[in-house]
Structure 1
Amino acid sequence: MPPTTTRADITRIARMDASNFVAVLYTGADSKPQLEVSMTRAVAKRLKPHTGGCLCGAIRFEAQGTAGKPHTCSCKMCQRHSGALTLAWVEFPSEAVTWTGPGGAPSVYHSSDYSSRAFCPACGSSLGAIDDAPVVALLLGVFDKTSAIDLIPKSHSYRTARPKWWHVEAVKPTT
Protein backbone atom coordinates (compact mmCIF):
# COMPACT_ATOMS: atom_id res chain seq x y z
CA MET A 1 0.00 0.00 0.00
CA PRO A 2 1.14 3.54 -0.59
CA PRO A 3 2.46 5.18 2.59
CA THR A 4 -0.38 7.75 2.55
CA THR A 5 -3.01 5.02 2.92
CA THR A 6 -3.59 3.63 6.40
CA ARG A 7 -5.43 0.48 7.37
CA ALA A 8 -8.42 2.62 8.36
CA ASP A 9 -8.62 3.92 4.79
CA ILE A 10 -9.03 0.50 3.31
CA THR A 11 -12.61 -0.55 2.73
CA ARG A 12 -11.96 -3.31 0.22
CA ILE A 13 -8.87 -5.30 -0.56
CA ALA A 14 -8.26 -8.20 -2.91
CA ARG A 15 -5.01 -10.03 -3.48
CA MET A 16 -3.99 -12.04 -6.49
CA ASP A 17 -0.74 -14.01 -6.65
CA ALA A 18 0.07 -15.10 -10.20
CA SER A 19 3.42 -16.56 -9.03
CA ASN A 20 5.29 -13.68 -10.66
CA PHE A 21 3.30 -10.64 -9.61
CA VAL A 22 1.16 -9.52 -6.73
CA ALA A 23 -1.73 -7.18 -7.42
CA VAL A 24 -3.51 -5.37 -4.60
CA LEU A 25 -6.82 -3.61 -5.23
CA TYR A 26 -8.05 -1.30 -2.50
CA THR A 27 -10.20 1.76 -1.93
CA GLY A 28 -8.58 4.69 -0.19
CA ALA A 29 -10.04 7.48 1.93
CA ASP A 30 -11.13 9.32 -1.25
CA SER A 31 -13.24 6.23 -2.19
CA LYS A 32 -11.40 5.89 -5.49
CA PRO A 33 -10.19 2.40 -6.41
CA GLN A 34 -6.42 2.03 -6.37
CA LEU A 35 -4.41 -0.76 -7.97
CA GLU A 36 -0.86 -1.56 -6.97
CA VAL A 37 1.14 -4.18 -8.92
CA SER A 38 4.58 -5.36 -7.97
CA MET A 39 6.96 -8.20 -8.73
CA THR A 40 7.57 -10.76 -6.08
CA ARG A 41 11.06 -10.55 -4.55
CA ALA A 42 11.98 -13.92 -6.06
CA VAL A 43 11.14 -12.71 -9.56
CA ALA A 44 12.93 -9.39 -9.11
CA LYS A 45 16.11 -11.26 -8.14
CA ARG A 46 15.85 -13.52 -11.20
CA LEU A 47 15.11 -10.78 -13.73
CA LYS A 48 18.35 -9.25 -14.84
CA PRO A 49 18.13 -6.75 -17.66
CA HIS A 50 18.87 -7.79 -21.20
CA THR A 51 21.98 -5.97 -22.45
CA GLY A 52 23.55 -5.44 -25.82
CA GLY A 53 24.99 -2.99 -28.26
CA CYS A 54 26.56 -2.23 -31.61
CA LEU A 55 29.73 -3.57 -33.17
CA CYS A 56 32.03 -0.77 -31.94
CA GLY A 57 30.45 -0.49 -28.45
CA ALA A 58 29.48 3.19 -28.73
CA ILE A 59 25.75 2.38 -28.52
CA ARG A 60 24.82 0.10 -25.61
CA PHE A 61 21.46 -0.63 -24.02
CA GLU A 62 19.75 -2.25 -21.06
CA ALA A 63 16.22 -3.54 -21.56
CA GLN A 64 14.23 -4.28 -18.39
CA GLY A 65 11.61 -7.01 -18.19
CA THR A 66 10.46 -9.71 -20.52
CA ALA A 67 10.85 -9.23 -24.26
CA GLY A 68 7.58 -8.95 -26.16
CA LYS A 69 6.53 -10.15 -29.62
CA PRO A 70 9.60 -12.25 -30.41
CA HIS A 71 9.39 -12.90 -34.15
CA THR A 72 11.26 -13.07 -37.41
CA CYS A 73 10.43 -10.91 -40.41
CA SER A 74 11.25 -11.20 -44.11
CA CYS A 75 9.57 -7.99 -45.34
CA LYS A 76 11.40 -5.94 -47.96
CA MET A 77 11.96 -3.08 -45.48
CA CYS A 78 13.72 -5.40 -43.00
CA GLN A 79 15.75 -6.89 -45.84
CA ARG A 80 16.94 -3.47 -47.00
CA HIS A 81 17.49 -2.24 -43.44
CA SER A 82 19.86 -5.10 -42.69
CA GLY A 83 21.04 -6.64 -45.94
CA ALA A 84 19.75 -9.99 -44.62
CA LEU A 85 16.82 -12.03 -45.91
CA THR A 86 15.28 -12.30 -42.46
CA LEU A 87 15.60 -10.40 -39.19
CA ALA A 88 14.76 -11.57 -35.67
CA TRP A 89 13.09 -8.97 -33.45
CA VAL A 90 11.75 -8.42 -29.93
CA GLU A 91 9.94 -5.42 -28.48
CA PHE A 92 10.13 -3.54 -25.22
CA PRO A 93 8.14 -0.54 -23.99
CA SER A 94 10.30 2.53 -24.63
CA GLU A 95 10.49 3.30 -20.90
CA ALA A 96 12.07 -0.15 -20.33
CA VAL A 97 15.06 0.60 -22.61
CA THR A 98 17.97 2.72 -21.43
CA TRP A 99 20.80 3.72 -23.76
CA THR A 100 23.93 3.22 -21.65
CA GLY A 101 26.92 3.48 -24.01
CA PRO A 102 29.19 6.48 -24.55
CA GLY A 103 27.40 7.24 -27.83
CA GLY A 104 24.05 7.72 -26.08
CA ALA A 105 20.94 6.92 -28.12
CA PRO A 106 21.34 5.55 -31.65
CA SER A 107 20.85 7.64 -34.76
CA VAL A 108 17.59 7.03 -36.58
CA TYR A 109 16.29 7.05 -40.12
CA HIS A 110 12.53 7.68 -40.43
CA SER A 111 11.73 4.70 -42.68
CA SER A 112 7.92 4.75 -42.62
CA ASP A 113 4.90 6.62 -41.30
CA TYR A 114 5.16 4.86 -37.94
CA SER A 115 8.77 3.82 -37.39
CA SER A 116 12.42 4.90 -37.48
CA ARG A 117 15.30 2.48 -37.99
CA ALA A 118 18.00 2.75 -35.32
CA PHE A 119 21.71 2.44 -36.08
CA CYS A 120 25.11 3.38 -34.69
CA PRO A 121 26.48 6.53 -36.36
CA ALA A 122 30.07 5.38 -35.73
CA CYS A 123 30.10 1.78 -37.04
CA GLY A 124 26.77 1.61 -38.91
CA SER A 125 25.42 -1.40 -37.01
CA SER A 126 21.65 -1.85 -37.26
CA LEU A 127 20.13 -1.97 -33.77
CA GLY A 128 16.40 -2.07 -34.41
CA ALA A 129 13.50 0.31 -34.75
CA ILE A 130 12.06 3.02 -32.56
CA ASP A 131 8.36 3.18 -33.27
CA ASP A 132 6.11 6.19 -32.93
CA ALA A 133 4.07 4.08 -30.55
CA PRO A 134 6.02 3.86 -27.29
CA VAL A 135 7.95 0.77 -28.44
CA VAL A 136 11.62 0.01 -29.04
CA ALA A 137 12.11 -3.05 -31.25
CA LEU A 138 15.59 -4.55 -30.98
CA LEU A 139 17.32 -6.99 -33.31
CA LEU A 140 18.29 -10.23 -31.59
CA GLY A 141 21.82 -10.13 -32.99
CA VAL A 142 22.70 -7.05 -30.92
CA PHE A 143 21.97 -8.76 -27.56
CA ASP A 144 24.95 -9.89 -25.47
CA LYS A 145 23.15 -13.13 -24.61
CA THR A 146 20.80 -14.40 -27.29
CA SER A 147 19.74 -17.68 -25.67
CA ALA A 148 17.14 -16.32 -23.22
CA ILE A 149 13.78 -18.09 -23.53
CA ASP A 150 11.86 -14.81 -24.02
CA LEU A 151 13.99 -14.01 -27.11
CA ILE A 152 13.02 -17.15 -29.05
CA PRO A 153 10.89 -16.13 -32.07
CA LYS A 154 7.33 -17.45 -31.95
CA SER A 155 6.15 -16.31 -35.40
CA HIS A 156 7.40 -15.26 -38.83
CA SER A 157 6.09 -12.14 -40.57
CA TYR A 158 6.04 -11.72 -44.36
CA ARG A 159 6.95 -15.34 -45.00
CA THR A 160 6.02 -14.96 -48.68
CA ALA A 161 8.58 -12.14 -49.15
CA ARG A 162 11.48 -14.53 -48.54
CA PRO A 163 13.01 -16.46 -51.45
CA LYS A 164 11.42 -19.92 -51.71
CA TRP A 165 14.77 -21.58 -50.95
CA TRP A 166 15.12 -19.64 -47.65
CA HIS A 167 13.60 -21.35 -44.60
CA VAL A 168 13.41 -19.91 -41.11
CA GLU A 169 12.80 -22.11 -38.09
CA ALA A 170 13.07 -21.29 -34.40
CA VAL A 171 13.52 -24.33 -32.21
CA LYS A 172 12.95 -24.10 -28.49
CA PRO A 173 16.00 -25.55 -26.74
CA THR A 174 15.59 -28.70 -24.72
CA THR A 175 16.94 -28.80 -21.22
Structure 2
Amino acid sequence: MLTGSCLCGAVAYRAEGPVRHASHCYCTMCRKQHGAAAGSYANVAAAGFTIERGAERVTEYASSSHGRRGFCSVCGSNLYWRSTEAPDRIAVTLGTLEPEFSGPVEREWHTGQKPNWLPVR
Protein backbone atom coordinates (compact mmCIF):
# COMPACT_ATOMS: atom_id res chain seq x y z
CA MET A 1 0.00 0.00 0.00
CA LEU A 2 1.19 3.49 -0.86
CA THR A 3 0.17 6.52 1.17
CA GLY A 4 0.74 10.16 0.45
CA SER A 5 -0.33 13.72 1.06
CA CYS A 6 0.06 17.23 -0.25
CA LEU A 7 2.48 19.85 1.06
CA CYS A 8 -0.03 21.57 3.37
CA GLY A 9 -1.58 18.31 4.61
CA ALA A 10 -5.11 19.16 3.49
CA VAL A 11 -5.24 16.10 1.20
CA ALA A 12 -4.18 12.56 2.08
CA TYR A 13 -4.59 9.47 -0.09
CA ARG A 14 -3.82 5.79 -0.25
CA ALA A 15 -3.21 3.57 -3.24
CA GLU A 16 -3.27 -0.18 -2.90
CA GLY A 17 -0.59 -1.94 -4.93
CA PRO A 18 0.93 -3.48 -6.66
CA VAL A 19 2.74 -0.78 -8.55
CA ARG A 20 2.68 -1.77 -12.24
CA HIS A 21 5.67 0.46 -12.91
CA ALA A 22 7.22 3.72 -11.76
CA SER A 23 8.26 6.30 -14.32
CA HIS A 24 9.69 9.69 -15.10
CA CYS A 25 7.86 11.61 -17.82
CA TYR A 26 9.72 14.41 -19.61
CA CYS A 27 6.81 15.72 -21.68
CA THR A 28 6.29 19.46 -21.63
CA MET A 29 3.02 19.16 -19.71
CA CYS A 30 4.56 17.11 -16.88
CA ARG A 31 7.57 19.41 -16.69
CA LYS A 32 5.36 22.49 -16.50
CA GLN A 33 2.99 20.95 -13.96
CA HIS A 34 5.78 19.82 -11.67
CA GLY A 35 8.09 22.80 -12.29
CA ALA A 36 10.86 20.24 -12.63
CA ALA A 37 12.74 18.14 -15.18
CA ALA A 38 10.07 15.43 -15.09
CA GLY A 39 6.87 14.23 -13.54
CA SER A 40 7.55 11.10 -11.50
CA TYR A 41 4.80 8.57 -10.97
CA ALA A 42 3.81 5.16 -9.62
CA ASN A 43 1.18 3.51 -11.83
CA VAL A 44 -1.45 1.66 -9.76
CA ALA A 45 -4.99 0.32 -10.12
CA ALA A 46 -7.56 3.12 -9.92
CA ALA A 47 -9.89 0.84 -7.95
CA GLY A 48 -7.41 0.88 -5.06
CA PHE A 49 -6.96 4.67 -5.01
CA THR A 50 -8.80 6.52 -2.24
CA ILE A 51 -8.71 10.11 -1.07
CA GLU A 52 -8.76 9.66 2.71
CA ARG A 53 -8.85 13.33 3.66
CA GLY A 54 -9.58 16.54 1.80
CA ALA A 55 -11.42 15.27 -1.29
CA GLU A 56 -13.11 18.67 -1.51
CA ARG A 57 -9.65 20.24 -1.88
CA VAL A 58 -8.67 18.16 -4.92
CA THR A 59 -9.02 19.96 -8.23
CA GLU A 60 -8.57 18.29 -11.59
CA TYR A 61 -7.18 20.03 -14.63
CA ALA A 62 -7.86 18.60 -18.10
CA SER A 63 -4.39 19.00 -19.60
CA SER A 64 -5.32 17.20 -22.82
CA SER A 65 -8.30 15.49 -24.44
CA HIS A 66 -7.62 12.40 -22.32
CA GLY A 67 -5.35 13.51 -19.44
CA ARG A 68 -6.55 14.70 -16.04
CA ARG A 69 -4.15 16.04 -13.42
CA GLY A 70 -5.21 16.18 -9.78
CA PHE A 71 -3.74 18.72 -7.39
CA CYS A 72 -4.43 20.30 -4.01
CA SER A 73 -6.32 23.56 -4.41
CA VAL A 74 -4.72 24.93 -1.23
CA CYS A 75 -0.98 24.37 -1.76
CA GLY A 76 -0.86 23.25 -5.41
CA SER A 77 0.84 19.89 -4.81
CA ASN A 78 0.53 17.59 -7.81
CA LEU A 79 -1.14 14.39 -6.60
CA TYR A 80 -1.88 12.24 -9.64
CA TRP A 81 -2.32 11.91 -13.37
CA ARG A 82 -5.05 9.78 -14.93
CA SER A 83 -6.20 9.03 -18.45
CA THR A 84 -9.84 8.85 -19.49
CA GLU A 85 -8.67 6.30 -22.08
CA ALA A 86 -7.40 3.95 -19.33
CA PRO A 87 -9.80 4.56 -16.43
CA ASP A 88 -8.65 1.43 -14.60
CA ARG A 89 -5.19 2.98 -13.86
CA ILE A 90 -3.97 6.08 -12.03
CA ALA A 91 -0.44 7.44 -11.66
CA VAL A 92 0.27 8.92 -8.22
CA THR A 93 3.18 11.34 -7.90
CA LEU A 94 6.26 9.85 -6.28
CA GLY A 95 7.13 13.10 -4.50
CA THR A 96 3.94 13.03 -2.42
CA LEU A 97 4.45 9.52 -1.04
CA GLU A 98 5.08 8.92 2.67
CA PRO A 99 7.27 7.04 3.28
CA GLU A 100 9.22 7.73 0.12
CA PHE A 101 8.95 5.27 -2.75
CA SER A 102 11.51 2.48 -2.43
CA GLY A 103 10.96 0.68 -5.72
CA PRO A 104 12.85 1.16 -8.95
CA VAL A 105 11.88 3.67 -11.63
CA GLU A 106 11.55 1.37 -14.61
CA ARG A 107 10.35 3.63 -17.40
CA GLU A 108 11.09 6.99 -18.90
CA TRP A 109 8.55 8.65 -21.20
CA HIS A 110 9.14 11.33 -23.84
CA THR A 111 12.93 11.18 -23.48
CA GLY A 112 13.28 13.33 -26.60
CA GLN A 113 11.94 16.22 -24.51
CA LYS A 114 14.35 15.61 -21.63
CA PRO A 115 15.85 19.00 -20.70
CA ASN A 116 19.44 19.66 -21.75
CA TRP A 117 20.23 21.05 -18.30
CA LEU A 118 19.84 17.66 -16.61
CA PRO A 119 23.16 16.14 -15.59
CA VAL A 120 24.39 13.24 -17.69
CA ARG A 121 24.34 9.88 -15.92
Determine if the TM-score, normalized by the shorter chain, exceeds 0.5.
yes
The match for 1:138 is 92
Q: In the comparison of the two structures, how many residue pairs are matched?
A: 118
Whose RCO is larger (CA < 8 A, sep 6+)? 2
**Cα offset, 1:168, TM superposition:** 7.2
Q: What aligned pairs does 1:5-154 form with structure 2 within 5 A after superposition?
A: 49-101=1-53, 103-104=54-55, 106-132=58-84, 133-134=86-87, 135-149=89-103, 152-154=104-106
Identity of aligned residues (%): 30
- TM-score between both structures, scaled by the size of structure 1: 0.62
Deviations 1:5-40 (A, max 9, x none): xxxxxxxxxxxxxxxxxxxxxxxxxxxxxxxxxxxx
Change (3 A) 1:168 1:79: farther
5+ residue gaps, structure 1: 1-48, 170-175
**Cα offset, 1:164, TM superposition:** 2.6
**Cα offset, 1:147, TM superposition:** 3.8
- TM-score between both structures, scaled by the size of structure 2: 0.88
Is the partner of 1:164 in helix, strand or coil? Answer: coil
Is the partner of 1:100 in helix, strand or coil? Answer: strand
Distance in 2, matches of 1:154 and 1:92, equals: 14
**Cα offset, 1:121, TM superposition:** 0.8
**Cα offset, 1:148, TM superposition:** 2.4
2:117 aligned with 1:160: no
